[in-house]
Structure 1
Amino acid sequence: MNLILSKALIDCFIAFGVVVGGALLAGIGSVLALSPPSSMMVDTASRLKIWALVAAVGGTIDPMRVIESNMIEGHLSPVVQQVLFILCAFIGAHAGTELIRMICRGSG
């Protein structure tokens, strides 16, 4: 159980880091390109949200295969685990997006 919760927490922080890191680097790039950084950061954070989720859960279709094969066989425990991992990754990506929105709204 401890291993499952630690993987879920790590997935959450990976997704959070992808969104926040990508948005911050996009902001730096927009400053170098002499364009407004806050709008670029918010736009990039929104676009990176789904990719952060994909990166956190493994970047492949394997989680969906685990869900499908175990659902068909009637084994619900692995299905619940995969859904938990995806949900935690979504929470991290969404938190990162909201943090970038909050930071950019405060500066403008």
Structure 2
Amino acid sequence: MGTIHGFSAARAGDGVRAATKWGLNGWYESLRKELLPDVRVTLIERGDVATELPTHAAVNEAYGQATVTADDTAEVIVFALWRPRPLAINEILLRRSTQA
């Protein structure tokens, strides 16, 4: 599959993740259009993030290289929230610079 809103590939074994990620992108875009101009909606997508969640060996290997932290994500959210009212930030893709 091609790139859809920053999510570049559907991998074997990732069907549920791909379906929910793409479904949320469509829901976000619809919601954004329905709520304008009174409410701004920003989609913040994260790549590999350093959390305590991963427990599977293969996942741990990939996430062990993650450099995006919860604090990084919080800073991006604050940035989007504090933009001037007429400015809409539709999407942000946050991931480490070396993530494929």
Band of TM-score, shorter chain: 0.3 to 0.5
* TM-score, reference length from structure 1: 0.32
Quick check: which has more Rg, 1 or 2?
Answer: 1
Higher strand proportion, which one?
A: 2
Larger RCO (CA within 8 A; separation ≥ 6): 1
Higher helix proportion, which one?
A: 1
* TM-score, reference length from structure 2: 0.34
